[in-house]
Structure 1
Amino acid sequence: MEPGAMGKLKFSIGPALLRRVMRTVTRRQRDKAASADLHSATRESSAIEAEAAFSPLSGRYHDMMPKLSDEEIERIRPFSVHTTWTTGEVIFAMGKPGPGLVVILGGRAREIRRDAVGRVHHAFEHRANNFLGEVSQLCGHPCLGDGIATDDTEGLVVPADRLRNLLVTEVELGEKIIRAFILRRVEMIEHGSGPVLIGDREDTQLIALQRFLRRNSYPFTVIDSRTASETPALATRISASAADFPIVACPDGTILHAPDECQIATRLGWIRQFEPDNVYDVVIVGAGPAGLASAVYAASEGLSVAVFDSQGPGGQASASARIENYLGFPNGVTGQSLTSCAFVQAQKFGVHISVPTRVKALRCDRTMLEIDVDNGCPVKSHTVIISSGAAYREPVIDGLDRLIGRGVFFGSSPVEANLCRDQEVVVVGGGNSAGQGVVYLASHARHVHLLIRGRELESSMSRYLIDRIAQLPNVTLHTATAIESLTGDERGLTQVTSKGPNGDIAFDVKHLFLFTGAQPNTHWLQNCRVKTDEKGFILTGAAARESGDDHDRTLETSVPGVFAIGDVRSGSIKRVAAAVGDGAAVVAQIHSIIHSRRQMAAVSKALH
Structure 2
Amino acid sequence: MTARVGQPLLETPDPDGAFPRLTDEQIKTLARLGSVRPTRVGDRLYEQGAQATDFYVVLAGMVAVVEGVGARQRIVQVHGPRRFLGEVGLLEGQPAFVSAVVAQPGEVLAVPLDSLRPVLLGDAALGEEILRAYLIRRSLLIGHGAGLRIIGSCFSPDTRRLLEFAARNRLPHRYLDVEKDAQAETLLTRFGVPPDETPVVVLDGADLLRNPSNVELARRMGLRRPQPRPDLSDLLVIGAGPAGLATIVYGASDGLTLTSVDSTATGGQAGTTSRIDNYLGFPSGISGADLAERSTIQADKFGGRITVPAEALDLRTCGGHHLVGLDDGTELAARAVVIATGVRYRRLPVPGIERYEGTCVYYAATAHEARACRTAPVSIVGGGNSAGQAAVFLARESAQVHLLVRGGDLGDNMSRYLVDQVTHHPRIAVLTHSEVRDVVGDEDLRGLVVENTTTGERHVVSSQVLFVFIGARPHTRWLAGAVALDRDGFVLTGPDADGHRDDDGWRHVSRRPLALETSRPGVFAVGDVRRGSVKRVSAAIGEGATAVRMVHDHLFEED
Give the TM-score taking structure 2 as reference length: 0.82
Question: Among residues 337, 346, 353, which one is paired with 1:384 in the alignment?
Answer: 337
Question: CA 1:504–1:407 in structure 2 vs 1: closer, same or farther (change >3 Å)?
Answer: farther
User: Residues of 2 paired with 1:339 and 1:71: CA distance?
Assistant: 28
Q: Contact (CA 8 Å) 1:451, 1:477: kept in 2 or not? A: yes
Q: Deviations over 1:399-454 (max 9, x none)?
A: 55565446443343344444445554443222111222222333444443333332
Is 1:593 the counterpart of 2:554? The answer is yes
Is 1:70 the counterpart of 2:28? The answer is yes
Percent identity of equivalent pairs? 33
The one-letter code of the counterpart of 2:21 is H
The one-letter code of the counterpart of 1:522 is T
User: Residues of 2 paired with 1:511 and 1:131: CA distance?
Assistant: 37
Question: CA 1:446–1:146 in structure 2 vs 1: closer, same or farther (change >3 Å)?
Answer: closer
Moved more, 95-104 or 423-432: 95-104
Q: Contact (CA 8 Å) 2:143, 2:371: kept in 1 or not? A: no
User: Residues of 2 paired with 1:86 and 1:251: CA distance?
Assistant: 24
Q: Contact (CA 8 Å) 1:430, 1:457: kept in 2 or not? A: yes
CA shift, 1:218, in A, is: 2.5
For the aligned residue pairs, the C-alpha RMSD in angstroms reads 4.0
SS in 1 for 2:542: helix
Q: Contact (CA 8 Å) 1:247, 1:255: kept in 2 or not? A: yes
Question: Among residues 423, 426, 432, which one is paired with 2:385 in the alignment?
Answer: 432
User: Residues of 2 paired with 1:283 and 1:366: CA distance?
Assistant: 16
Question: Among residues 494, 509, 514, which one is paired with 1:553 in the alignment?
Answer: 514
Question: CA 1:386–1:115 in structure 2 vs 1: closer, same or farther (change >3 Å)?
Answer: farther
Q: Deviations over 1:103-122 (max 9, x none)?
A: 89x99996754247762425
User: Residues of 2 paired with 1:547 and 1:387: CA distance?
Assistant: 20
Q: Contact (CA 8 Å) 1:361, 1:373: kept in 2 or not? A: yes
Q: Which residue of 2 aligns with 1:16?
A: none
Alignment of 1:29-428 (within 5 A): 44=11, 47-49=12-14, 55=16, 57=18, 60-62=19-21, 68-74=26-32, 76=33, 92-101=46-55, 112-115=65-68, 119-122=73-76, 134-146=87-99, 158=112, 160=114, 164-169=117-122, 171=124, 174-179=127-132, 181-198=134-151, 209-223=162-176, 230-251=183-204, 253-275=206-228, 277-375=230-328, 377-394=330-347, 396-400=349-353, 404-405=357-358, 407-428=360-381
Q: Contact (CA 8 Å) 1:483, 1:496: kept in 2 or not? A: yes
Unaligned runs of 5+ in 2: 502-509
Q: Contact (CA 8 Å) 2:380, 2:466: kept in 1 or not? A: yes
User: Residues of 2 paired with 1:263 and 1:165: CA distance?
Assistant: 31
Q: Contact (CA 8 Å) 1:196, 1:223: kept in 2 or not? A: yes
Moved more, 195-204 or 360-369: 195-204
User: Residues of 2 paired with 1:331 and 1:551: CA distance?
Assistant: 43
Question: Among residues 508, 521, 531, which one is paired with 2:475 in the alignment?
Answer: 521
User: Residues of 2 paired with 1:156 and 1:420: CA distance?
Assistant: 39
CA shift, 1:193, in A, is: 4.2
Q: Contact (CA 8 Å) 1:272, 1:353: kept in 2 or not? A: no
Q: Contact (CA 8 Å) 1:113, 1:144: kept in 2 or not? A: no
Unaligned runs of 5+ in 1: 1-23, 33-42, 600-608
Question: CA 1:134–1:402 in structure 2 vs 1: closer, same or farther (change >3 Å)?
Answer: closer
Q: Deviations over 1:211-233 (max 9, x none)?
A: 43333232234456566664444
Equivalenced residue count is 544
Q: Contact (CA 8 Å) 2:160, 2:359: kept in 1 or not? A: no
CA shift, 1:596, in A, is: 5.7
Moved more, 293-302 or 493-502: 493-502
The one-letter code of the counterpart of 1:370 is L
Is 1:470 the counterpart of 2:423? The answer is yes
Give the TM-score taking structure 1 as reference length: 0.76
User: Residues of 2 paired with 1:394 and 1:154: CA distance?
Assistant: 51
Q: Which residue of 2 aligns with 1:570?
A: 531
Q: Contact (CA 8 Å) 1:204, 1:405: kept in 2 or not? A: no
Q: Which residue of 2 aligns with 1:15?
A: none
SS in 2 for 1:61: coil
User: Residues of 1 paired with 2:553 and 2:266: CA distance?
Assistant: 28
The one-letter code of the counterpart of 1:393 is R
User: Residues of 1 paired with 2:132 and 2:370: CA distance?
Assistant: 28
